[in-house]
Chains A and B, each alone.
Chain A
Amino acid sequence: EAGVAQSPRYKIIEKRQSVAFWCNPISGHATLYWYQQILGQGPKLLIQFQNNGVVDDSQLPKDRFSAERLKGVDSTLKIQPAKLEDSAVYLCASSSWGGSNQPQHFGDGTRLSIL
């Protein structure tokens, strides 16, 4: 089966600019996660979707970050405006059902650098 697809792989922007990341989960996976991984740290969950509904966005900085999952498939994460501390790898993951012990499958991530 095809894995989790993310694009772009790298992105460099200046602070105060906006940026968007795209994720296509594994076909049939109802649960989709966005993580932020700062260099030297473990992934931190930003938002979790079950189909097209938000399950958990408690750690999403809502003043600048937004995410959507239209039609319960693809998802987009946006940052506007970006700050220097947003430099990180943004990982997308999906699983077959959020209520089971099914493992997450991760994409390759997008490395964001803020100048």
Chain B
Amino acid sequence: AQTVTQSQPEMSVQEAETVTLSCTYDTSESDYYLFWYKQPPSRQMILVIRQEAYKQQNATENRFSVNFQKAAKSFSLKISDSQLGDAAMYFCAYRASPRFGTYKYIFGTGTRLKVLA
């Protein structure tokens, strides 16, 4: 069974600095998708960035980028130039490729990010 592990319950970063959130996963499949979601106190989950496992190039979305290490089954999120609005819970999520007949997302336990002014 697939699992997703986020080993950092909480992280802090100074405003304008860079922070990296860690995520590891376990799967026997070769084709899948990985996501980072942000959940502010308002509770609505918002997609931050996604990565297809078959793509070697790391995904980037403005200040957010990932370090995808497929062999190590590692998928970390780097936030550059941190802003106060980045403070939230961040969840790493795994989804198998639909070719394998499974669709469900598996979420990690989350990392609470605090941004210090």
A contacts, CB < 8 Å to B: 3, 31, 33, 40-45, 48, 55-56, 89, 91, 93, 98-101, 103-104, 106-109, 111
Contact = CB atoms under 8 A, between A and B. Distances in A.
A103 B103 contact: no
Given A43-B91, A103-B50, A109 B44 contact: yes
23 contacts: A33-B105, A41-B110, A42-B91, A42-B93, A42-B108, A43-B91, A43-B107, A44-B107, A45-B105, A48-B104, A56-B103, A89-B43, A91-B43, A93-B45, A98-B98, A98-B103, A101-B52, A103-B35, A103-B47, A103-B50, A104-B45, A104-B47, A109-B44
Contact of A55 (B43, B44, B103, B105): B103
Contacts of B110: 40-42
Contact of A108 (B44, B52, B98): B44
B83 interface: no
B33 interface: yes
A104 B105 contact: yes
Interface of B: 4, 33, 35, 42-47, 50, 52, 91, 93, 95, 98, 102-110
A24 B24 CA distance: 33
B44 A48 contact: no
Contact of B45 (A40, A100, A101, A106): A106
A48 B106 CA distance: 13
A106 B44 contact: yes
A42 B46 CA distance: 14
B107 A100 contact: no
Nearest to A44: B107
A91 B103 contact: no
Nearest to A100: B98
A47 to B, nearest CB: 10
Contact of A56 (B43, B93, B104, B109): B104
Given A98-B98, A100-B98, A107-B44, A42 B107 contact: yes
Given A43-B105, A103-B47, 9 more contacts: A42-B91, A42-B107, A42-B110, A43-B45, A43-B107, A99-B98, A100-B98, A104-B45, A104-B47
